[in-house]
Structure 1
């Protein structure tokens, strides 16, 4: 199973893929622990597997990178979110570059449930609660790099 990477942009939802990242206006801020965020992971599976339904609300706890200025910020405005469902494993599984881009701006806000505990064998991540908005009948728009 891959560990999806999460990117944020305060400027635009546009993907300007440069061969490695979704573009210069995007910041890599962390990952999604798919074991702890299994309900939210169903929102990703709809685009990368044959799953047809989701569970729960479109919200999750980001495993934030402690070195990220965005993660460390005490206040964050609304932002666009892009998820690379393959994360660092993309090149090994030879997956096409893919990003799930939020249709509406997301917010970092408190969630009804408490953050899950980090696995004791992993580096301590900063849990950032993120809620996405539904727009145009969905949460994400898919962007894929077309074969040339």
Structure 2
């Protein structure tokens, strides 16, 4: 199973794929533990073709990179755009996994969620900082799918 990567941008939702990242204005801030965030993961699966319906609200706990300045300052961040790479780092070794990003339809916010943050797996050597992120719907959609043209 892959760990989707989460990128944020304060300036624009445009993807300017450079062969490795969604663009220079995006910052990689962490990933999504798909086991702990299985309801939210259905939002990703619907867009990449592995699921028909979504569960729960469009919110998740980011496994934030403790070395990321954005993560350390997340409580002071204004609303931001989110781009999720559903394949994460192993994309290059997954047959048929073209560069793909799910871009938030509206700006997201760091907010408190009703449920408590899940505990990181005890075997992880670097403990992520749990950041609660809430996405908004626009015309019923949470994400816009971007796939690199062939």
Q: Once structures 1 and 2 are overlaid, which stretch shifts more, 18-27 or 70-79?
A: 70-79
What TM-score do you get using the length of structure 2 for normalisation? 0.96
What TM-score do you get using the length of structure 1 for normalisation? 0.97
Cα deviation, 1:53-103, whole Å, max 9, x if unaligned, reads 000000000000001000000411100000000000100104100000000
Q: Which residue of 2 aligns with 1:99?
A: 101
Question: Take 2:22 and 2:47, find their aligned partners in 1: how far apart are those partners?
Answer: 18
CA root-mean-square deviation: 0.7
Question: Take 2:50 and 2:9, find their aligned partners in 1: how far apart are those partners?
Answer: 29
Equivalent in 129, 133, 137 of residue 132 of structure 2: 129
Shift of 1:136: 2.0
Question: Take 1:50 and 1:4, find their aligned partners in 2: how far apart are those partners?
Answer: 15
Q: Once structures 1 and 2 are overlaid, which stretch shifts more, 97-106 or 72-81?
A: 72-81
- Which 4+ stretches in 1 moved above 6 angstroms? none
Work out the number of aligned pairs and report it: 147
Q: Which residue of 2 aligns with 1:111?
A: 113
Mind listing any 5+ residue stretches in structure 1 that lack a counterpart?
A: none
Question: Take 2:50 and 2:31, find their aligned partners in 1: how far apart are those partners?
Answer: 23
Shift of 1:145: 0.3
Question: Take 2:106 and 2:41, find their aligned partners in 1: how far apart are those partners?
Answer: 18
